[in-house]
Amino acid sequence: MAQLNLWVGDVDGNVDKMVAAAVTARDAHKADIVVFPELAVLGYPPDDLLLRNGLPDKIKAGLARIKKEVAGICVVVGYPEFAKAGMYNAADVYLGDRRIAHYRKQKLPNYGVFDEDRHFHPGDATCVFELAGLPVGLTICEDIWEPGPAADAAKAGAKLLININASPFHEHKSAQRNQVLADRARECDLSIVYVNCVGGQDELVFDGDSMVARFDGQIIYRAPTFTEGVFACDVPLDHDAKAKPAKKSEQAIEPLIWQALTLSIYDYVDRNGFDGVLLGLSGGIDSSLVLALAVDALGPERVWAVAMPSRYTSDLSKTQAQLQAENLGVRFSEVPIEPMFEAFTQGLADEFAGTAEDVTEENIQSRCRGTILMALSNKFRHIVLATGNKSEMATGYATLYGDMAGGFAPLKDVYKTTVFALSKWRNAQCADDAKVIPQAVIDRPPSAELRADQQDSDSLPPYETLDAIIRAYVEQHATQAEIIDQGFDADLVARVTGMIRRNEYKRRQSPPGPKVTARAFGRDRRYPITAQYSDV
């Protein structure tokens, strides 16, 4: 199982990895067959890159290289097929320079983050090929989530089923995969080899988690999550043979989300050519968590923390921000925003005459900080990591062109309650009393510190309540009435769901961030900005 971190569009680089992996599988593991993920030659998801006129020739050349450079082992290769009848999500099976099988994906997902109907036509033929006298069926990703294609392969005589995937991570995905594979294996009385890719790709992150389900539904082998590599396994075909179940994946969700976030930061920063990252370090829990993630992802030498205190910044915020930066060994700067804030307010004094201070002045402070960070980013080729979380993105508790400024938002799909859980989990991994995130930052009441004595609770309900309402409305598509039936106050439900609807225009302008929940803002959830749908 070649669980590879592939780069969308880098056909030459992807083929280099595939050839090297095939050689490792053949020489180091003495494998009969090596299996690559879905669309491995091009990477996933390619989106409208598939429309580029020069792409078919690149794909053709990449496949020719694999056939020419890999010998002595059977190879399963996923790629986009450009045929006269249309475009297909396809896979070939090579043995030396011969193609011994060809398959076109039958079930095209068109929900959530997937929109394969936009480009691909569905295949309509079952694929069973012979490997050393063994009939082997071949399917692609979504084909295994429905009974039909696997059952058809079994009827055609397959004694083993291979399923190649580009299946992105979210917090419930591993359990869902386990159930689907177990169901298909038992239904078809076939062992299934499931191979997935790994790595960060814009708003998606792939966790690998490649595995083998035995014919009785038992998971007997599992590759490490979020780890690139070539993983060998023997697949039992004898129904009388005994097999040990694989070690279950870690039940705690925090370490999986941590791996997802750090891998997505690393791949996004490196593959987009940035020297490092910088972020505004406020002394609050969100920016403290992003700093810890960035250091784990990139190392302290590539991370720059910038404190930007104002007249409302507490001494606790100042001291804790500097303490964390020193503990983690990152570059630390302090750029007070007071002179800039005064310049803005004085410049607008005539226009604002006769009005009271309100959220406008709060947002000016935030936009001063956004300007500082973007200036440093331009000058020093460090991408700005925005520090807002999903609870804030949902309710609009964030400032456009202020704290929403940046190139990547690691916490965009992380609820505030999960922010606290991740912070506590990461601190628990420390070998001594030194904490990655200062305990005082975790213990303090959350505050934007844009006015005197401000706390998040002035504008938002307790995060435990808020996040539960957001989950129901965003991830479960629940109506207001259904959420109220769960025990939440009717006025509060109306208020929170109204905030979610009204702030779609803000989210449309926010930077990308990795999906880690069942439904993330961005390509996973596409709602109109100008719409009226409060009662649905």
Which position among 141, 188, 197, 368 bears the catalytic label? 141
The number of residues making up the chain comes to: 536
What is the Cβ-side half-sphere exposure of residue 305, based on CA atoms within 13 angstroms?
Answer: 32
Q: DSSP secondary-structure letter at 275?
A: S
141 is catalytic: yes
**Nearest to residue 283, comparing CAs of 326, 312, 316, 305?**
316
Amino acid residing at 41:
V
Distance between CA 222 and CA 194 in Å, rounded?
9
| DSSP line for 3-58 | E----TT-HHHHHHHHHHHHHHHHHTS--SEEE--TTTTT-S--GGGGG-TTHHHH
Which position among 17, 105, 107, 390 bears the catalytic label? 105
Is residue 164 within 8 Å of 37, Cβ to Cβ? yes
Distance between CA 75 and CA 306 in Å, rounded?
49
SS3 state of residue 53: coil
**Nearest to residue 228, comparing CAs of 248, 211, 208?**
208
Which position among 38, 228, 362, 392 bears the catalytic label? 38
Neighbour count for residue 98 (Cβ, 10 Å): 8
Is residue 307 within 8 Å of 369, Cβ to Cβ? no
38 is catalytic: yes
H-run or E-run covering 205: strand 204-207
**Owner of token pair 């912070």:** 423
244 is catalytic: no
Q: Give the active site residues.
A: 38, 105, 141
